[in-house]
Structure formats: structure tokens, C-alpha cells
Amino acid sequence: MTTLLSLEGVMRVYQNGVKALDGVSVNMERGELVSILGKSGSGKSTLLHILGGLDRPDGGMVSFEGRELNFRNRDEIIMHRRKRVGFIFQQFNLLPSMTAIENVEYPLIFRGVPRSDRHSRARVLLEQVGLSGRIEHYPKELSGGEQQRVAIARALVSDPLIVLADEPTGNLDSATSAGIVSLMREINRERGVSFFIATHDRDLAARADRICTIADGRMVA
């Protein structure tokens, strides 16, 4: 197995003095689906933001595929975010004025992918997440579970090495949540994409290859 990412003593202290991450160390292999379990305020979102290059650590080291990320180099962080990382959020975060397929295509615009290629890739992904009948629907015309499926397709469109998911089932009922977890597992198996999933949900966590537990900004298990 090859190491996909490695964190060593990562610190994050917010301006108000809150120590959100207090020396987090963790490794992840390529192709793993890992869940990170912890109470509200334990530092899960902060950790995902740092891994995805949305926030910078105040100490420690983050490396991706054996290379240390240089958080002071903006271009490097932007490239890291665009090419290697997909995000899924609790609130789905779809653009309301765009249809399902336009939402999925959107990240590819910034990569200069021609329109017809964007369209065909987005269509294939929407089929994979079980939404071939909903391609031209707007977010408000979709259920919560369907919106999250669109968000999963969007997270995959740039062929990321890892998908970072922050409470992906937090707004869904338990049956719909189970479907979303199964879909993430299937994508993980079939495409080899790694998943790092922050959650409070023990049922979701139980279906991961491995569970990390965070408390007060420290890994405890």
C-alpha cells in the first residue's frame, strides 16, 4: 500500500485563541475509506479544511503522496485543491440557478475542459450515482438524498485522489443516509478514490475501513 496523506503534529489556533487542532497526527493509505468521529467542536471540520487546502495549519506538517504541502505557496495549494481533492458538505452546496448536470460540470470550467467533454463526463457520473432521470432538474426539484448524490458526482468530476466529506448524511433521514454511505463505498471500491468522512453518525463510521476518533483537537484512537 502507498501512503496517500500523512499529518504530523498539525496545529490550528484560531484568532480568538481557540486551539481547534492540538497536534494531530494521522496517516491514510491510497484507496482507504476512513471516518473521523468526534463530538461537536472537536476539530473535524477544521481538519478537513486543512487537508483540502481551504485553511492553513499553524504548525506541523501535511504531506500528500509523499510531498509536503507548502501552505505558503498559494498556487500550489490551489492546484492541490482543484486536481486532487473533492468536497462534499452537509448542506450539499449546489448552485440553485444551475441544473444537476450544470452543477456537476461546473468545476471543469476552471480546468479548461471543452463543453462537450464536460457534458459527457457529468452525464456518466450522474448515471453512476443513480440520477440519469434527474439530469435537467434544479436543486429545488430534488430531494435531499438526490441533491447529495449530485454533490457526490460533482466531487468526483475532477478525478480526485480523495474526497473529503463533512457530515455528508447530517441532513438526511436514516434510510437515505444508508443509501449515501453505500454509494460512497461503491465509488471507493470501483474507482479507488479515498474518502475521509467526518461524522457524528456511528452507523456511518462503522462502515469505514478504519475509524479515527478526535477529541479536543487531538486524535484519541
Ligand X SMILES: Nc1ncnc2c1ncn2[C@@H]1O[C@H](COP(=O)(O)OP(=O)(O)OP(=O)(O)O)[C@@H](O)[C@H]1O
Residues within the interface to ligand X (CB under 6 A): 14, 16, 18, 20, 38, 40-46
Shortest Cβ 166–ligand X spacing (Å): 7
* Other CB atoms within 10 A of residue 59 CB: 13
Partner interacting with residue 14 (select from Mg ion, ligand X, none; CB below 5-8 Å by kind): ligand X
Q: Which CB, 44 or 134, lies closer to Mg ion?
A: 44
Asked if 34 and 9 touch (Cβ cutoff 8 Å), the reply is no
CB of residue 171 vs ligand X: minimum separation in angstroms? 13
User: Of 149, 46, 157, 144, nearest to 109 (Cα)?
Assistant: 157
Tell the residue number behind the cell numbers 453505500, with chain if given: 182
Closest to ligand X by CB, 82 vs 218, is 218
For the chain, the farthest-separated pair of C-alpha atoms sits apart, in whole angstroms, at 49
Closer to ligand X by Cβ: residue 40 or 116: 40
Q: Of 64 and 89, which CB lies nearer to ligand X in the complex structure?
A: 89
In DSSP notation, 20-80 reads EEEEEEEEEETT-EEEEE--TTSSHHHHHHHHTTSS--SEEEEEETTEE--TT-HHHHHHH
CB 19 to ligand X: min, Å: 8
* Closest separation in Å from C-beta 9 to ligand X: 17
**C-beta of 125 vs 214, nearer to ligand X:** 214
Q: Give residue number: closest CB to Mg ion.
A: 45
Helices (H) and strands (E) in the chain, counts: 7, 10
Taking the complex as a whole, how short is the minimal distance between the CB of residue 161 and ligand X, in angstroms? 23
Which parts of this chain interact with Mg ion (CB under 5 A)? Answer: 44-45
* Residue 18, all three cell numbers: 481557540
> How far is residue 156 CA from its own chain's centroid?
10
Look up residue 90 and give its three cell numbers.
452537509
- Binding partner of residue 99 among ligand X, Mg ion, none, CB cut-off 5 to 8 Å per kind: none
